[in-house]
Amino acid sequence: MGILNVTPDSFSDGGEFLSVSDALCHAEAMIADGADIIDVGGESTRPGGEQVAADDEINRVVPVIDAIIKRFDTPISIDTTKSLVAARAIDAGAEIINDISGLRFDEKIADVAAGRNAGLVLMHSRGAFESMHSQPPVEDIVAEVIDGLNRSIDLATAHGVRSEHIAVDVGIGFGKTQEQNLELLAKLDNIVSEFRAYPMLIGTSRKSFLTRILGDVPPAERTDGSLATALIAIRNGAKILRVHDVRETISAIKTAVAISGVK
C-alpha cells in the first residue's frame, strides 16, 4: 500500500503532493514501483495535527482519486475518519476505507462500507483526535489492541460490513510507548493468530519511534529502519504494508523471500 498524502502538514511528505498533477505523478511512480494499493489521505494524523473540515478534505482527495482512476486500474483506499469523506471518495472510485479510529470517531463509516460494498481497514487507537498520541500507556498493550480491534470488528459487522471485507491494523505509533511499539511488532504473530479471518495491515514507515533507535534523523532518512520493521512484520504474519518507499520495500521482501526459500 503506497502512501499518497495530499496534505500540507503530514509528518513526512506534507505539501509535496498538493496539486493533482503532482499527486498523480507520485501515484504513477509508486504503481510503477509495484504498489498494489494507493492510500490517499487528506488529513494528517501526525502528533499535533489539526482536524480538517470534511469539505476541505473532500476537495483535497476526490480530484486526486478521480485522476488516478482515469489512468490506472490500481485499487485506491481513502484514509479518513469521516463518513462523508468516505462516501464521496468511494463514489469517486476508491474501493477501501482506511479508518485510523476503528469507527470510534464516526461509526457511519461502517454504513458507507456496507452500503457500497467497500473494504474497511480498522486500526487500533485510543483517545480523541487531538489526544491519540498523548494517551497514558496501558499496562498490557497486546491485550488492549486485541480488545479494541474486536470492538471495532463487532461494530462494523453490526452495521452490515461483511467479514471478508475487513482488515485490521494494530496502530503502531498511536498512543503507544516506544517499548509497546516494539512489543507489538515482536509479538505480531500472536495478534495475527487472534484475527485469522482478517488480513493484518502494518504501518511503520518513517514513523518517529524509529528515531529512538536510529537517532534524531528526519523522516526521509528513516527508510532503513522502516525496511527492517517491514520484514519483521511480514515474517510475523502481516499481509499489507503501508509504506512511503514502495520500491525499496518490495526489493527487501523479495530478497528475504528468496533466502527463506533456500533449503
Q: Which residues are catalytic?
A: 207, 242
Strand-pair partners of 97: 78, 120
- The C-alpha atoms of residue 13 and residue 76 are separated, in whole angstroms, by 19
**What's the burial of 163, exposed, middle or buried (CB within 10 Å: 0-12/13-18/19+)?**
exposed
Contact 97, 86 (CB under 8 A): yes
Alpha-carbon torsion angle 54, 55, 61, 63, nearest 10: 160
- The C-alpha atoms of residue 240 and residue 150 are separated, in whole angstroms, by 19
**What's the burial of 3, exposed, middle or buried (CB within 10 Å: 0-12/13-18/19+)?**
buried
- The C-alpha atoms of residue 213 and residue 217 are separated, in whole angstroms, by 10
Nearest Cα residue to 119 out of 227, 1, 209, 16: 1
Residue recorded with cell 488480513: 199
Give SS3 for 176: coil
**What's the burial of 123, exposed, middle or buried (CB within 10 Å: 0-12/13-18/19+)?**
buried
- The C-alpha atoms of residue 87 and residue 110 are separated, in whole angstroms, by 10
H/E segment holding residue 232:
helix 223-235
H/E segment holding residue 231:
helix 223-235
